[in-house]
Every structure is written in structure tokens, then in C-alpha cells.
């Protein structure tokens, strides 16, 4: 099939000034617009963004779940996360049925006071990748985010005494933060992982998760960041640095908040999703098919087009 690139429909991409940039999966907010039909995929400003919007990925999710908050968002939980962590584990080793070592997180002796520490907001496009981070103890940001966080980690290691680098995780459009991890090694820019929903993240670095619980944005919204035009910390982009005093306050809020839910509730769901994704990728491994001399098959062109759209991201807004 001959194809003239000039006959392809134009993709009108509108970048929103109030949009988020995400790491681990997905880039900045984008909108698709036709000549007369302005059908937008993006985030509204203010609190409506937290209340009404769902992740872009959820619109393509055949299972119908909101991948920004997982299936637990539609369920009423009778127990808080602390109770679930203690009651859902097996008698031996205190492990969840999905293999999560529950006694490693939300520890009552978690330290929140530091003379030196660094804090960064991490924005993920989908909870799928937070699940992978917890499961495999790694993370990957955008190229810009990786360089920024790696530089901070190396600077922290040069300081006298202890200077941990904490990552405060949130998923775009979820209206909440979902946990705290610590960066425990530099970014390996040559090593890639195949865990993510999209094969687009270069480099990775090891992390240790300390707190896993859903904490609503309302608990943090009073905190304004001077190094981000005095915007609330809840309106941060990926790899936004949080100063020491406010970072410590966020750690204390995370530790003290009595959360009714956490991503642990949906771990088996994401495990199943991961297995399905691996099977799907395995079926797509055959080499590119060619229709006629030098012409790619239609389905191959479609896959390439999808990859192009998925590769759009904002490294710095």
C-alpha cells in the first residue's frame, strides 16, 4: 500500500501550561484537536483536576479501571492500611498473597527528622509503574529527571554524615500521594528495565520503599513551594525539588496519616496486568512484515504510529 506522508491527518497537540510532567510512564499533558471538534485529553486546572480527571491511559484500558487510582478507588474499605498490612499477610514471613513483604513498610520507627536530606516529587502517569517500582525496587524518570535526581544523589553522598534522598510519589490525576521511597544508588544511564508499560525509559536507579499508603492532596495543599512560584506542592511537576523543612513536614504527614487504602490493596490486580502485558509483548515479537517490495504491512505502520504518539513527552515545561 503506497502512502503519501502529506496525506496523513495532522495531529494538533496543545500543551497546557498547568499540566504535569510524569516519569516512569507517560509525559506531559496533551490534547488532540480536530478542525471543528475539540476533544481534549488533559488536566483541568485547580481541584477539578483531582476530582474529575482520570489518567489518559484509563481511556484505553480494556478492563475499565482508572489506572491513576486502581480498582480500589471504586470500593469501600472497612479497614485502614495499617490493619490490612497486619491482617492480610501470611502467618509465615508476613507476606501478602502477591509476595509483598508487608512488614517492610509503614514502620512506626520510620525516621522523619533530618539535619540534611533531599526531597523530590515523583509524578507517575500510571499506578502500573508504581507497582513495578515497589516490586523490583527500581525507578526510571525522564532524561531530564534522571539527570537532576542523579546529580542530587551524588551531591548528597559528598556531604558529611547522612543525607538521604527521598522520593515522594504521586500518580497524575489521582488526587493523592501514594508513598515514599528513598534513592539508594546512582542512576545507571546504560541499564534499562523492561518492566514499564511503555518501552521508552532509558536508565534506572535503585530505590527502597518506606511508606506505602494513599494520602489525599488535601493534606499537603497548604504547603507552597518558593522554588516553584509559590505553587502548592500538589501542583508540582515530576522531579520538583522540595526544600528540607517542607520535605520533613511531608514525611511526618505520610507517617501519621491513618490511610484507609494503599496500592497494596490492588497488587494482585497489577500482578495479573503485568503477566498479561508480558504475554502480549511476547506475541508481538515477530519481525516486521513487509507487503511488497519495501512497503510495510498496515498493522506494522499502525504500531509505529502508536509508538510515535506514545513517545511524546515534555522534558521541561
Angle between helical axes of 267-283 and 127-136 (0-180°, round to 10): 100
| Confidence (pLDDT) at 68 | 84
Backbone CA torsion sign across 137, 169, 269, 92 = positive
The most confident of 11-20, 220-229, 283-292, 294-303, by mean pLDDT: 220-229
C-alpha–C-alpha distance, residues 141 and 106, integer Å: 24
Nearest to 184 by CA among 226, 259, 133: 133
The most confident of 6-10, 22-26, 53-57, 173-177, by mean pLDDT: 173-177
| Confidence (pLDDT) at 315 | 39
SS3 123: strand
Question: Which residues have a Cβ under 8 Å from the Cβ of 28 and sit 6 or more positions away?
Answer: 15, 19, 20, 21, 22, 313, 314, 317
Q: Using DSSP bridges, classify how beta strands 138-139 and 205-216 pair: parallel, antiparallel or unpaired.
A: antiparallel
Q: SS3 helix, strand, coil % of the chain, rounded to 5? A: 35, 15, 50
Residue 59 or 73, more confident: 73
C-alpha–C-alpha distance, residues 3 and 5, integer Å: 6
Nearest to 101 by CA among 62, 53, 135, 52: 135
Gap between the terminal Cα atoms of the chain: 39
Residue 20 or 107, more confident: 107
The most confident of 45-49, 180-184, 292-296, by mean pLDDT: 180-184
235 has a pLDDT exceeding 50: yes
Residue 312, domain member (yes or no): no
Nearest to 112 by CA among 305, 244, 274, 17: 244
Residue 25, domain member (yes or no): yes
Nearest to 23 by CA among 163, 183, 246, 217: 183
220 has a pLDDT exceeding 70: yes
Residue 110, domain member (yes or no): yes
pLDDT band at residue 108 under the 50/70/90 scheme: very high
14 has a pLDDT exceeding 80: no
Residue 223, domain member (yes or no): yes
C-alpha–C-alpha distance, residues 155 and 248, integer Å: 19
pLDDT band at residue 186 under the 50/70/90 scheme: very high
Residue 195 or 63, more confident: 195
Secondary structure element (H or E) that encloses residue 218, with its range: none
Residue 316, domain member (yes or no): no
Residue 229 vs residues 36, 123, 224, 258: alpha-carbon distances, Å: 35, 18, 8, 31
Q: Give me the number of domains the chain comprises.
A: 1
Residue 309, domain member (yes or no): no
| Confidence (pLDDT) at 174 | 95
Question: Which residues have a Cβ under 8 Å from the Cβ of 83 and sit 6 or more positions away?
Answer: none
199 has a pLDDT exceeding 60: no
C-alpha–C-alpha distance, residues 243 and 117, integer Å: 9
CATH at residue 52 = 3.10.590.10
pLDDT band at residue 112 under the 50/70/90 scheme: very high
Residue 280, domain member (yes or no): no
The mean pLDDT value for 265-271 works out to: 94
Supply the range of the domain harboring residue 110: 1-275
Residue 132, domain member (yes or no): yes
Q: Mind listing the pLDDT tens digit for each residue in 272-289?
A: 988 988 888 888 876 544
C-alpha–C-alpha distance, residues 188 and 171, integer Å: 24
DSSP string spanning 29-41? ---EE-SS-----
18 has a pLDDT exceeding 90: no
pLDDT band at residue 104 under the 50/70/90 scheme: very high
Q: Which residues pair with 123 in a beta bridge?
A: 170
Amino acid at each position: 500500500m503506497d502512502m503519501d506522508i502529506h496525506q496523513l491527518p495532522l495531529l494538533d497537540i496543545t500543551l497546557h501550561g498547568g499540566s504535569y510532567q510524569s516519569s516512569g510512564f507517560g509525559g506531559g499533558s496533551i490534547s488532540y484537536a480536530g478542525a471543528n471538534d475539540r476533544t481534549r485529553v488533559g488536566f483541568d486546572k485547580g481541584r477539578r483536576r483531582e476530582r474529575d480527571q482520570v489518567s489518559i491511559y484509563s481511556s484505553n484500558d480494556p478492563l475499565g479501571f482508572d489506572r491513576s487510582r486502581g480498582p480500589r478507588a471504586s470500593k469501600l474499605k472497612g479497614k485502614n492500611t495499617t490493619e490490612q498490612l497486619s491482617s492480610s499477610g501470611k502467618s509465615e514471613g508476613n507476606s501478602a498473597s502477591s509476595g509483598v513483604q508487608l512488614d517492610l513498610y509503614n514502620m512506626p520507627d520510620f525516621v522523619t527528622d533530618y539535619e540534611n536530606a533531599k526531597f523530590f516529587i515523583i509524578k507517575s502517569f500510571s499506578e502500573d509503574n508504581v507497582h513495578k517500582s515497589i516490586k523490583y525496587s527500581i525507578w526510571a524518570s525522564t532524561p531530564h529527571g534522571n539527570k537532576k535526581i542523579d546529580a542530587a544523589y551524588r551531591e548528597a553522598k559528598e556531604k558529611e554524615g547522612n543525607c538521604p534522598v527521598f522520593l515522594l510519589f504521586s500518580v497524575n490525576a489521582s488526587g493523592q500521594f501514594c508513598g515514599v521511597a528513598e534513592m539508594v544508588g546512582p542512576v545507571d544511564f546504560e541499564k534499562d528495565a523492561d518492566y514499564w508499560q511503555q518501552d521508552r525509559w532509558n536508565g534506572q536507579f535503585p530505590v527502597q520503599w518506606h511508606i506505602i499508603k494513599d494520602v489525599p492532596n488535601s493534606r499537603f495543599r497548604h504547603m507552597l513551594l518558593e522554588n516553584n512560584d509559590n505553587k502548592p506542592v500538589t501542583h508540582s511537576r515530576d522531579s520538583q525539588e522540595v526544600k528540607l523543612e517542607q520535605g520533613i513536614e511531608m514525611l511526618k504527614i505520610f507517617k501519621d496519616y491513618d490511610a484507609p487504602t494503599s496500592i497494596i490493596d490492588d497488587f494482585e490486580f497489577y500482578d495479573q496486568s503485568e503477566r498479561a502485558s508480558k504475554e502480549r509483548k511476547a506475541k508481538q515479537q515477530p519481525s516486521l512484515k513487509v507487503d511488497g517490495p519495501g512497503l510495510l504491512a498496515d498493522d506494522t505502520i499502525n504500531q509505529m504510529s502508536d509508538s510515535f504518539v506514545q513517545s511524546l513527552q515534555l522534558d521541561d515545561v
